[in-house]
Structures are given as C-alpha cells and as structure tokens.
Structure 1
Amino acid sequence: MPETVLVTGGTGYVAGWCVVELLRRGHRVRTTVRGHGREQAVRDAVAGEVEPGGRLEFAVADLTADDGWAAAVEGVDRVLHVASPLGGSGGPEALIAPARDGALRVLRAAAAAGVRRVVMTSAANTASPSSYAEEGVTDETLWTDPDDPTLIPYRRSKTLAERAAWDFMAGYDGPTELTTILPGAVFGPILATDTIGSVGIVQRMLTGAMSGVPRIGLEVVDVRDVADIHLRAMTAPEAAGERFLATGEFLWMRDMARVLRAELGEQASRVATRQVPDVAVRLAARFRDPSLRDITPALGRRNRHSTAKARRLLGWQPRPAREAVVDCARSLLAHGAV
C-alpha cells in the first residue's frame, strides 16, 4: 500500500533517484532540503523522470542542527536516511561529526514519531578490511576498524555514523526498525548537474581532465539499483535489523575507460586509457597534488564484497557494471555536463 516516506537530502544524487522511484511506485514523498531555495531544483530534477503531482513535499532540516527534524518526520511511515555531510575545512571532524550526529538526529526524531522503519545509507567501505592489501571477498559481518590510523576521513565517518546508529538501536525499546544499505561506487544516469557525487569520475574521463588512469578498482553499482534496494529494504520483513551490501561488478578504472571508448566512439575521444604507474601517483600525491593522497591506499586493491544476502533476502539483482558506466556517460553528455 502507498505510504508517506521521508527521504533526507533530496538534492543528492542517490536521494534524488530514491524520490523518483518512490513516486513511480505510488508513494507520497517528503524530502529534506537545507533551505526553501532548493525546492524547485528537486522538482525540476524529478520531473525529468516522473510527474510528482501533489505527492512531493518538502521539509527544511540540516544534519548539523536539531531544528526541523520533528516536523520532517511527523506523519511519516518510513524514512530513507540518504543524506551525507558535505565536509569542508576543519580537519577530519568536519566530516565525521555531521555524519555521526546527523544519523542520530534522524533516528531520534523517527523513533519519537513512531516511524515504522529507517533505512540508512552507509557504504561498502564500512565492511572492508582496514588494510587495502588484503584480498578475497567479505560480507556484512565484517566491520571496518574505525581506530585504524590509516583510514581516510570518509571511511572513518561512514563507519562511525553507522556504528552510532546501531548503538542507538541497541539501547532503544520501541517499534522503529533500522536497516542499513552499503553501496559500492555509484554510477548511472544523473537527474541534474549540480550534485553528481561519484559520477564526477566519469565526467573527468570524458572531458580529458584525466591524462591517465590510476590502478584503482571499483565495485560499480547503478544508482537506479541503489534506489531499488533502498525501497526493497524499506518494506521487506526480513530486512529489519540487517545490513545489506549493495555493490556491483569489479572494474579497474582502465577497464571503465576502455568501455567508454568502445561504446561512445568519438564522444569518448578524450578518454585516456593509459594506466599511470602506482609510483607516479604516489609521487604526485606527495609533491604536486595533495588531493590524491586519499586514493593512494586503494592502488591495486582487489578486495571485493558479497551481495548474496541482498539477493537472497530481498531478491535484489543489480545490472551489469558496464551498463551503469555507459548510461552514466550518455546522461552526462545529454545534460551538457561534458
């Protein structure tokens, strides 16, 4: 039966597709924005895929403040907590504190309102070996060690936020249930050009901003499949109290570049397929481009994640990684983002 669902962070890449899929399936949707000025951007993005009619409404709330969350969850049946902090200056805590505290704000408000279930977006790297050198396949039973000093702030923030959510539920005695979704590298079509998340990798390839590709492998999952697993986890009785990995096929970035060249022809003429040696990436990160420091631990990483649980309990079936990459590129081109 159609329900009223709150989606946090409606301007975001994954959140936007969650809004679209909920509307397609007949639900009423309320989504949070950080200011009323962002409402029209969400409406415009969604309208390219589905006509919302009067079933889309907005609430103003921010992960960094308590204001607005009680009103945001009022009358809501379920919550998809997809929003993530933007980070910025201030060191690692600038990312960690908003992620952790924001998750707790959403959970507390949802529990107080008697929401039936909260589905929270985490990340596959919260269920990964701390050492990138380890190989093999891991599942949801593994937790990344947040105290590992080599973790980049993003991995630590996602791990601590999800841990805080489960710790909250451990001490909670009420009707609200929690499920967490752990996506891999999210690609696929965009709804708008202002918030594209990880899609920026494909954008940089198409524009020629990457003169070569590092030896980094990604578990590519389509944004439409990420939205789908959120909706499945939202209602499936088996999903209550569970974590679900939502990763796709493993592709080296060089393979992604080759797929783009093969499928898009002249439109991908600026895509570089030359692989940059690991030592060159490390030297550049140390002396020329500090922004590369966060990716150097992932050079050559081969650890993969199992999605057997999501397939078995939710019937989830992601599309091929190559389809996600090509559809992503075509969408960027169609939106004039290249």
Structure 2
Amino acid sequence: MNDELRGGALVLVTGGTGYLGGHTVTRLLAEGHRVRTTVRDLGRAAEVRAAVGAASRNLEVVAADLGADEGWAEATEGVDYVLHVASPFPPSSPESDDEVIRPARDGTVRVLAAAREAGVRRVVLTSSFAAVGYSAAPRAEYTEADWTDLADPNSAYVRSKVVAERAAWGQVRAAGGPELAVINPAGIFGPVLGGRPSSSVALVQAMLDGAMPRVPPLSFGVADVRDVASLHLLAMTHPRAAGERFLAAGRAAISFLDLARIVAESVGGPPRAIEELTDEQVRAAAVTDPAMREAATRLGRVPVIRTDKARRLLGWTSRPIEETVADTARSLLALRTA
C-alpha cells in the first residue's frame, strides 16, 4: 500500500467514482482523514483524483469489483472504517429482477465479510429511503422502524435496497461484527463534481434542457449530497451510531412541479411550461410504462420523513431544500461552460 497512507486511522470508501462516493471522499479528505477508495477500473483513478483536487495526495485508489472476491482483502487491509457507498446498477433495463437484486445483496455481504476479516471497527452502509417507505400501504410518517414490504409490487431497484440492507444486518448478527450503521437517504441532489449525474440529478438536468414537459403528480423527499456525506462521517465514529439506521432528508417533501419552479428560479429564468399529469393519466400510462407503474403506486402520498434520530443522536443538520436544488442546477450549468 502507499507509504503516505501509513499511520493513523484509514477510511475505505467504496465507489469513489459515484456521485455520493465522490462527495464522501472529498469530505473525509477535507477533515484530514486518509482515504482509500475502490473503483472497478483503475483507468478511472485519474477521474477520482481530479474531482478531489490537491487533497488527492492523501487518497489511494484501488481496484475492487462488488461482483467478485478479488481485491477486497487488499482494499480493506489496515482499514479502520468502511463507508460502503457503492451499489451495482445495470446500464440498461434488466431482463430479470435478479440482475439488480443479487449483485446488490452479494456485494454488500462481500464487503462486510472482507471488513470483518480485516478487523475493521465499523461499516457504514448506504441504503435508501426505498428500503423504508415504498410499501403499498401508505403511512402518515416514516421512521427508521419502517421497512418496505418485499411482497409489494415495487421495482427491482427498490427491492434490491431492501434485500441488501436486510442481508447486511443478518450478516452482522450471524458473524458477530463488525459494527454496522446504515444511512437511508431520500432522493439525493446537490452540486455535481463531474462525471455522470445520478438519477436524481438527471431530473434537474432534464428540466434545464426542457426535456421533461410532463411530470407525474408525485411528492418525494430531498437529501443534499453534502449532508448525506456528513451523516456518513458522523455515523462512522459516533459511539451511539453502531447498530442503528438513520433517515436522511430535508424538512419537507416537494413535488416535481416544486422542483421545476426552484430550478427555474435558481437560474434566473421563468419556469418552463411543464404539465402535471392527472392520476388517471398516470394509471393509464402504467399499463405499458414500468416507470409509471411505480408512480401509480405512490399517487396521493406526501411522505413525512422523520429525521429526528440523526439530529438528536448525532447532531446532524440539513440544508434548506431550495438551496440544495439551486446548487444542483447551478453546478450543472457551470459544467457546461467548464
């Protein structure tokens, strides 16, 4: 391993090329941590270092794929904490749900097993609100005690988050370690560091491009990528975080129309003409469109996502949603002129 990384605590972040992974690496380095991050292809190491900037002198990039055992023993060697941010996602629509669910589950179990063998103190797993609040029967509000029911007709992605998180808790209980904390963020927005945008950020990109003339009448939680990264760091070392889940979201849910309005205001232009579909139109489209099929199950819901636990136990705070969305739009525009 790189001699510059010897001595003191060392943090492994899986998926350094990802949206949240990049922000998490950046935050760790800014706070003086030494960081190792994994990429599937070392040809992307320069991309990770470019996003980090001058602080990359305290960053080591290693190759490890969630779909294979090779590389994980080396990646976790000498590591004190693991932030398992990466999650495999197919580039195109899978032919079967197992193409999404199995890699997510097996990758999580693989990282935990390597962490245990290496004597890692604690693993912080990035799960999702999808594992909490996507059951068919709506609730007035959601807390960390809630779980999405695997029997409900959700997408493979939603089900993969449930399966992977449950597998993580089961693995730790069965093997007796390492300590585990889980972060369950709502839709993640915020400034981009470069590279491919996340699915949430892609919504803002589409609105900036005028490529989203019609939106479903849905409301959703928003989490700032910087705040989610901060919560990972808090959960990494706080004594009371071990064995706990933490929801991450702003103070209130917003609709797609709210998102469009904030995007327009943030770049100094009038809102684009965006039509909100009716419930009936969504149900009709759901017959042939898988995305609308999932939207149809959430019609009429305005999720109340309780984040009191993270705020109370860990002292976590979140930015205003308007700031998060505005920073997303402005950073996307800045990339165009860079």
Task: Please classify the TM superposition score into its range, dividing by the shorter chain length.
Answer: over 0.9
Residues 72-151 of structure 1 aligned to structure 2 (within 5 Å): 72-87=75-90, 88=92, 89-128=94-133, 130-131=135-136, 134-148=138-152, 150-151=153-154
Tell me the TM-score normalised to structure 2 length: 0.92
User: Which amino acid is the alignment partner of residue 299 of structure 1?
Assistant: L
CA distance in 2, matches of 1:39, 1:53: 11
How far did residue 302 of structure 1 move?
A: 1.8
- Tell me the equivalent position of 1:70: 73
Give, in angstroms, the shift of residue 291 of structure 1. 4.2
Q: Alignment RMSD, CA only?
A: 1.9
Contact 2:215 2:256 in 1 (8 A): yes
| Distance (Å, rounded) in 1 between the aligned partners of 2:8 and 2:95 | 43
257-266 vs 157-166, which deviates more?
A: 257-266
Shift of 1:46: 1.9
Shift of 1:54: 1.9
Higher alpha-carbon deviation: 307-316 or 195-204: 195-204
1:7 aligns with 2:13: yes
Structure 2 segments unaligned to the other structure (5+ residues): 1-6
Secondary structure, counterpart of 1:336 in structure 2: helix
- 1:198 maps to a residue whose letter is S
Q: Percent identity?
A: 50
Which amino acid letter does the alignment assign opposite residue 149 of structure 2? D
Instruction: For 1:1-338, list aligned pairs within 5 A.
Output: 3-47=9-53, 51-87=54-90, 88=92, 89-128=94-133, 130-131=135-136, 134-148=138-152, 150-174=153-177, 176-248=178-250, 249-266=252-269, 269=270, 271-287=272-288, 289-336=289-336
Deviation at 1:270, TM superposition (A): 6.8
Which whole-Å CA distance do the structure 1 matches of 2:271 and 2:46 have between them? 34
Q: Could you tell me how far 1:41 is from its partner in structure 2? A: 1.1
Q: Counterpart of 2:254 in 1: which secondary structure? A: strand
Equivalent-residue separation in structure 1 for 2:291 and 2:275 (angstroms): 20
Secondary structure of the corresponding residue to residue 35 of structure 2: strand
- Using the TM superposition, give the Cα deviation of residue 145 of structure 1 relative to its aligned residue in structure 2, in angstroms: 1.4
Letter in 2 for 1:127: V
Q: Is the 8 A contact 1:3 1:27 kept in 2?
A: yes
CA 1:299–1:109: 2 relative to 1, 3 Å:
same
- Amino acid aligned to 1:218: F
Pair 1:283–1:70, CA change in 2 (3 A)? same
Q: d(CA) in 1 for partners of 2:247 and 2:100?
A: 22
Instruction: Give the number of aligned pairs.
Output: 329
Deviation at 1:13, TM superposition (A): 0.5
Structure 1 pair 2/309, CA: closer, same or farther in 2 (3 Å)?
farther
Aligned AA for 2:225? V
Q: Is the 8 A contact 1:210 1:272 kept in 2?
A: no
Shift in Å, 1:134 = 1.7
Segment drifting more, 276-285 vs 179-188: 276-285
Cross-structure match for 2:4: none
Shift of 1:194: 1.9
Q: Deviations over 1:132-156 (max 9, x none)?
A: x5241121111221122x1211111
Give the superposition deviation at 1:251.
0.6
Code of the residue aligned with 2:146 in structure 1: it is L
